Amino acid sequence: MDEQLQIDFLPVDSGEKSGDAIVFRYGDFSERSSFKVVVIDGGTKDSGNRLVEHIQQFYNTNHVDLVICTHPDADHASGLRQVMNHCSVGELWIHKPWDHSKKICDLFHDGRITDTSLSDRLKDAYTYAHELVKLAEEKGIDVREPFAGRENEDGAIKVLGPSIDYYRELIPDFARSPQAKTVMEKAFSTYQSAITWIKETMDIETLDETGETSAENRSSAVVLLQVNSRKYFFTGDSGIQSLKKVIEFAQNKEIDISNVSFMQAPHHGSKRNISPSILDAIKCQTAFVSASKDAPKHPAKKVTNAFKRRGANVYKTNGNILMHNINAPRDGWSAASSVPFFNEVEE
């Protein structure tokens, strides 16, 4: 029998803010010992509780083999505390920026900052991530950092980015890091007084290569799952620069990601985090977007159009659970409606 797969994106709705809460299982679902359960990000406390309930109800287990926190933002890390508290967990993959203080301390211009004080500041700044690590250590759970090249025990899950060197370059630019020597500030405004609409067609694309996102987003772990020769690509909130590095890493390691069965649209479908060249290099059949039903800019229509222009079916959570499956339909669940192609998009 071919292996089975279920990927579930749970909604993370907090007003206009979106978040990620993802769980999947793969293997032979007939008995617990023959399949793996993996959580990638947990959203808020509420969505973390729903993740636990979902795993218990639909996966018939309370054990999670692997928990991955892609980056320390609250809309990804907070809910994982509920998973760690209410499920048994095999491993936690999470970046620990405070553990890199000795390597990056000289990037900070304040002579009073030592590697110890920097480490303490980063622990205080990224409370949720530090709490997750402490929880894991208290429970005797192995903690590993998800840098490019890491694999799980059966080799089905591979981290394609970031590299440890690139990650260390990013830490001084984290929003909660002490001011660094070479930090260049850029305002990422969430306010827009009026939306300008522009026309698109299947032959006219307005998405471009200029999108920029935060250093925390660029530090997101990017994960590839391979089951039955099919590939599934999880991007967190990664950005254009970091995804280009992922593509380069995959090429150097002869990992083919040019055509994947499934892809998570990074950062809830933001136009700042994806570009035509990325989507030309990584084509997918199905794309999922974690987007709050009240978020006006998630996903950006020019982003979903770009996916559809390249042959992908696009789906967004929009307050509902999305499930993608191979050889494992779920009784009582109906087919979701894909996002349409839009003839007008936000500029």
Percent of the chain scored above 70 by pLDDT?
91
Query: Residue 177 has what pLDDT?
Result: 78
Residue 16 has pLDDT above 60, yes or no: no
**Mean per-residue pLDDT, 167-185:** 72
Strand pairing of 157-161 and 197-199? Answer: unpaired
The pLDDT confidence band at residue 182, using thresholds 50, 70 and 90, is: very low
Give the count of domains, the chain: 1
* 69-101 pLDDT per residue, tens: 999 888 888 999 999 999 999 999 999 999 998
* 188-226 pLDDT per residue, tens: 444 445 789 999 999 999 999 999 999 999 999 999 999
Residue 109 has pLDDT above 60, yes or no: no
DSSP string covering 120-163: HHHHHHTHHHHHHHHHHHHHT-EEE---TT-B-TTS-EEEEE--
For the entire predicted model, the pTM comes to 0.93
Residue 181 has pLDDT above 70, yes or no: no
Domain at 150, CATH number: 3.60.15.10
Query: Residue 12 has what pLDDT?
Result: 87
Q: Which of 128-138 are b and which e, b meaning 16 or more Cβ less than 10 Å from the residue's Cβ?
A: bbbbbbebbee
Contact 43, 57 (CB under 8 A): no
Strand partners, 40: 22, 68
* CA distance linking residue 304 with residue 302, whole number of Å: 6
* CA distance linking residue 271 with residue 251, whole number of Å: 25
Residue 36 has pLDDT above 60, yes or no: yes
Query: Residue 180 has what pLDDT?
Result: 47
Query: Residue 110 has what pLDDT?
Result: 57
Tokens representing residue 280 in the block:
């030309």
Q: Which of 10-41 are b and which e, b meaning 16 or more Cβ less than 10 Å from the residue's Cβ?
A: bbbbbeebbbbbbbbbbbebeeeeebbbbbbb
Tokens representing residue 323 in the block:
């499930």
Round the average pLDDT of the chain to a whole number and report it. 91
The pLDDT confidence band at residue 119, using thresholds 50, 70 and 90, is: confident
Residues 6+ apart with CB under 8 A from 132: 69, 77, 80, 81, 84, 92, 94
Query: Residue 295 has what pLDDT?
Result: 64
Query: Residue 187 has what pLDDT?
Result: 43
**How many residues are recorded in the chain?**
347
- Any idea which residue has 């192609």 for tokens? 341
- What residues make up the domain containing 27? 4-346
Tokens representing residue 138 in the block:
């208290």
